[in-house]
């Protein structure tokens, strides 16, 4: 059986559902963005079951752009976690039916605590529901039907909530002109922080291999292997000036072109000159420079143009 056909159908049906939901968005969404941008408190999501899992993802996305956010399970909220919520928070309740008992209990309890001070938003598939009737702002995220075989499992409905959360995040990014540099501030770890925040000097190899022009090829290969960065710099015999580079790729490419391999030396495989980068440049600049030259390493220099290290594509990604 061609199960990929089923997958394609699921994608198509969920895409159609998202289109329908998007067409129902109006100026109320602008109001939500303004509220989210102006609040002194946090953006809090309350749901249960699958809705709660989706809410966790949305909250994490908003936090990643500097909008303090978290999700509370409706069940635990009603048993003590309501204390995590303050009057200056913006609270979004997630329930497709709008009649989920735990969600309604949390809503009514919060209204009893804060009265009209708390800003509440309903993300629901039923605008006539109890939840919708008791929140100050309502978004109709309803889908005509779920896409699983039983038409009961949360599929298109949870995808709609997830897409709504993504839309809110992007709108907030636009509202505050959020930049890649700011994004990196909240992602100092992993490849994002490494690429956008760290400088070349933080990741470069400081032990740099050197050979002379007349160094026998066997010794060149040993030197490259010993340092483990795939290259060696080549010095001029008389002056010691750096005049080129030999990479393991250069040796493979030119091996058959050399008349006598046993008598060959570094100069026979050397590429004159080299591509360099200042040690204070960020890793992103190093990656872009490598990509533009179709190479996988750079020679690192300081303010005096002296060689201080080598950086490879593995260190900057």
Instruction: Tell me, yes or no, whether 165 and 205 share the same domain.
Output: no
Instruction: Tell me, yes or no, whether 45 and 156 share the same domain.
Output: yes
> What CATH number is given to the structural domain containing 159?
3.40.50.10490
Q: Which has the closest alpha carbon to 121: 141, 145, 101, 144?
A: 141
**How many CB atoms within 10 Å of residue 31?**
13
Question: What is the domain extent for residue 211?
Answer: 200-316
- Supply φ then ψ for residue 172, to 5 degrees: -70, -35
Query: What mean pLDDT is predicted for residues 114-134?
Result: 95
**pLDDT one-digit tens code per residue, 242-261:** 999 999 888 888 877 777 87
Q: Is 27 helix (H, G, I), strand (E, B) or coil?
A: helix
Identify the residue whose tokens are 């699921």: 10
How many domains is the chain partitioned into structurally?
2
| Whether the Cβ atoms of residue 172 and residue 62 lie closer than 8 Å to each other | yes
| Whether the Cβ atoms of residue 300 and residue 309 lie closer than 8 Å to each other | yes
What pLDDT score was predicted for residue 215?
A: 94
In this structure, what token pair is assigned to residue 235? 């010095």
Query: What mean pLDDT is predicted for residues 32-46?
Result: 95
Supply the pTM of this predicted model: 0.71
Confidence category of residue 191, pLDDT binned at 50, 70, 90: low
Instruction: Tell me, yes or no, whether 173 and 302 share the same domain.
Output: no
Instruction: Tell me, yes or no, whether 114 and 148 share the same domain.
Output: yes
What pLDDT score was predicted for residue 260?
A: 81
- On the 0-12 / 13-18 / 19+ scale of CB atoms within 10 A, 293 is exposed
Instruction: Tell me, yes or no, whether 291 and 229 share the same domain.
Output: yes
> What CATH number is given to the structural domain containing 210?
3.10.580.10
Identify the residue whose tokens are 């999501």: 45
Tell me whether residue 187 is in a domain.
Answer: no
Query: What mean pLDDT is predicted for residues 277-295?
Result: 92
DSSP 202-229: HH-B----EEETT-BHHHHHHHHHHHTS
Query: What mean pLDDT is predicted for residues 3-28?
Result: 96
Identify the residue whose tokens are 């309502």: 138
Confidence category of residue 141, pLDDT binned at 50, 70, 90: very high
Confidence category of residue 304, pLDDT binned at 50, 70, 90: very high
> Containing H/E element for 130?
helix 130-133
Residues facing residue 140 across a β-bridge? 124
Instruction: Tell me, yes or no, whether 172 and 249 share the same domain.
Output: no
């Amino acid at each position: 059986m061609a199960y990929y056909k089923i997958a394609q159908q699921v994608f198509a049906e969920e895409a159609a559902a998202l289109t329908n939901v998007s067409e129902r968005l109006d100026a109320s969404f602008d109001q939500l963005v303004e509220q989210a941008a102006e609040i002194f408190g946090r953006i809090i999501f309350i749901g249960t079951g699958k809705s709660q899992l989706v809410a966790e993802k949305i909250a994490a996305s908003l936090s990643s752009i500097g909008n303090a956010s978290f999700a509370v399970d409706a069940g635990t909220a009603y048993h003590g976690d309501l204390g995590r919520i303050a009057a200056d928070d913006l609270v979004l309740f997630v329930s497709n039916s709008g009649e989920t008992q735990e969600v309604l209990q949390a809503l009514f309890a919060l209204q009893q605590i804060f009265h009209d001070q708390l800003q509440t938003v309903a993300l629901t598939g039923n605008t006539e529901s109890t939840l919708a009737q008791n929140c100050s702002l309502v978004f109709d995220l309803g889908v005509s039907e779920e896409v699983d075989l039983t038409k009961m499992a949360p599929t298109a409905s949870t995808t709609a909530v997830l897409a709504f959360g993504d839309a809110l995040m992007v709108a907030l990014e636009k509202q505050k002109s959020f930049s890649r540099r700011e994004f990196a501030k909240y992602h100092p770890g992993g490849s994002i922080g490494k690429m956008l925040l760290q400088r070349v000097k933080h990741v470069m190899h400081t032990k740099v291999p050197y050979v002379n022009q007349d160094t026998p090829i066997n010794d060149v290969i040993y030197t490259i292997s010993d340092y483990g960065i795939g290259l060696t710099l080549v010095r001029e015999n008389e002056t010691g000036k750096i005049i080129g580079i030999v990479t393991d790729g250069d040796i493979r490419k030119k091996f058959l072109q050399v008349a006598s391999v046993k008598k060959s030396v570094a100069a026979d495989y050397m590429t004159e000159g080299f591509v360099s980068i200042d040690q204070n440049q960020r890793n992103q600049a190093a990656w872009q420079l490598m990509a533009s030259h179709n190479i996988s390493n750079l020679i690192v220099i300081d303010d005096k143009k002296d060689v201080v290290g080598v950086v490879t594509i593995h260190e900057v990604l």
